[in-house]
Copies of this chain bind each other. A is one copy, B any other.
Amino acid sequence: MKLNELKVACSSCNLRELCLPVGFGRDDLTRLDALVASRKTVKRGDALFHAGDPFQSLYAVRTGFFKTCVSSEDGRDQVTGFQMAGELLGLDAISQDRHTCDAIALEDAQVCQIPYSQLESLSREFTELQHSFHKIMSREIVRDHGVMLLLGSMRAEERLAAFLLNLTQRLAARGFSPTSLVLRMTREEIGSYLGLKLETVSRTFSKFQEDGVLEVKQRHIRVLDLDALHALLNSSSAC
């Protein structure tokens, strides 16, 4: 066994508290190691998979940043999520044995490949894994419902505030500063995710800067007034 393969094992991965094995004990973790077949490198701009590709494996993001997007027959497309370290890609593909969205790396990335058939068989004899996997799928459903709420009933400022708060929370959980971040995606990608045009995203960033809520320098964002962002979400009756 080669040394760099040891490194990739779940049992020694620093993401184990965020990824599939949340809450696992030491013994559980070593059982998981059998599951992760290999690492895979994806360069910025490249696709990990495309819609229509046959489904073999799920992928856990180790490093880097992804977007997933679906597209309709008439060429419309929609960013459905942004994934960072510890998050799973490919859950949509189980339903039809084919991927239903594209997963594109927004920066150079590394993923762990998890063959789905092995995940199924291992989780049959390993209750914690089964439970953990179900929770992750369910969490994705809950997340999607939150996005539906956002897209269905929020105004531009509220959408961007919700987006930034979500991003900073997830970054904070990974040990990054919750007040200073670098966006990995373009204004257009943010807009697609939030159901806005890129100009509206840009204008809203500028508005936040004027109001002293953010400092915006291209993709570098500093949160100056976290309460103001929260306030945008907790009081729709602000008008």
Contacts and interface: CB of A to CB of B under 8 A. Distances in A.
A141 B142 contact: no
At the interface, is chain A mostly helix, strand, loop or mixed?
Answer: helix
Nearest to A196: B152
Interface residues of A, number: 53
Contact of A145 (B101, B139, B152, B154): B101
Contacts of A151: 148, 151-152, 195
Contact of A95 (B94, B139, B149): B139
A35 to B, nearest CB: 15
A101 to B, nearest CB: 7
A236 interface: yes
A141 B70 contact: no
B145 A94 contact: no
A76 interface: yes
Interface string A161-194: 0000000000000000000000000000000111
